[in-house]
Structures are given as structure tokens and as C-alpha cells.
Amino acid sequence: MSLFDQLHPEWQNALADYSPLISKIESRINKDDVAPAYENIFAAYQLPASKVKVAIFGQDPYPTPGYAHGLAFSVDANVEPLPASLRNIFKELERDCAVTQPENGDLHRWANQGVFLLNQILTTKPTLSLAHHDYGWQEFSAATAKVIGESGAIGIFWGSKAQELSQYFDPQLSISSPHPSPLSAYRGFFGSAPFSKANALLRKQGRQEISW
């Protein structure tokens, strides 16, 4: 199955103009040496565009082999220890919403409620950060953000690169902060309360809150 065909049909329709770009990116990817694994690159896009209530944008996938699995910030349930960024996300979640640290780092439980988790760059070479920064992913993630923003969904933007995508969202529905990585979490991620803010906005929209 080609990479573009791995998108949910709603996304294939919404992003049809970008099929040539995905084919070009696919031609540059070594399917046996990519993070996340080739079949998981579009894991986030299994959530139909019409079901997205909140979108969380990051920067690029975890380069540590076995970590990235297609949802930004998420890891498979058996990954231990958790990546530092995810540990910080859970620390802020506990501070913000009194949610004790989940049993594992698999965020499909959020995606199943309408949370779209996307990195601005969707792939990298294992062990190397930003190895695919020049593949064209930013154009595709921007197009994705535009579709989601126009739907009236809430956008959460962690880090300066992710914040480039906030232009596609209503400012009243945008929540931005520094990245949760250890290098920047203490510069404003901690205390940013993104989870309770998103739920407050969902309440105003008359939509069901996320059980973070």
C-alpha cells in the first residue's frame, strides 16, 4: 500500500492535492530505516478529519529506536522508561487536572476521543533528530493544520516550530507554550494548563470534554 493510501479516506479527500508531494517524500524514505515504522507514519490520520476536536502539534518524532509510533509524543504501551518530554506532559497533566500518571505512554486513548496528535515533521532516521527536515513534511502538516483549523477545532501548539501552525486556527481557540522537552519545559510549559484550557473551550462549544 502506498503511503498516501494509508490515510483515512476523509484525509485522502481533504488532502488530495498533496498526493504528489507524499509520493515524492515516500521515494526518499528507506522503509526499513525510518521512525516511526513505515506502516505507522500516518497513524494520526486514522482519526477522520470530521472527528477532530483538539489537535496537539509537536515538532518531530522521537529518534530513539522503538519510541515513535505515529502519534506525536506517544509511545507504545510497553516502552519504558517514558521519553522525557512525555514525562513532563504527564507532570503538567497531574498539576493541571489532578490526573495521576497513566500506566503507559500510549496516547491512543486521547486519539480515540478526538485528539489529533501530529508532529510538524512526520518522520526521521532512527537515532537522528530532524534527519528528514528537508523532505517537505512541513508543507503537508501545514495543509493538515489548515483543514483542522477551518473546522473550528482547538489547537495546542508545543514549541516554536509547532506554533508556526497556529496561523491556521482561530486565536481564541489556540493554546501555545514552549515545548515539554527538558530543555524548555521550565520556560513556560509547566503551568500552561493546556488540558483544562482545552476542556473549557470544548464546554463553550457544547462539545464533550476530553478525559485526559
Mean pLDDT confidence for 147-165: 98
| Residue 120 pLDDT | 97
Residue where the block lists cell 504528489: 20
Label residue 204 by pLDDT band (50, 70, 90). very high
Q: Are 28 and 135 in contact (CB under 8 A)?
A: yes
Q: What is the spatial distance between Cα 167 and Cα 165, in angstroms, rounded to a whole number?
A: 5
Domains of the chain: 4-204 (3.40.470.10)
Give the residue from 203, 200, 196, 209 showing the smallest Cα distance to 94: 196
Q: Which DSSP category does 99 fall into?
A: P
Label residue 73 by pLDDT band (50, 70, 90). very high
User: Is the omega angle on the peptide bond into residue 36 within 30 degrees of 0, that is, cis?
Assistant: yes
Mean pLDDT confidence for 32-42: 98
Mean pLDDT confidence for 84-108: 97
| Residue 126 pLDDT | 97
Question: Known catalytic residues?
Answer: 60
Q: What is the model's pTM?
A: 0.98
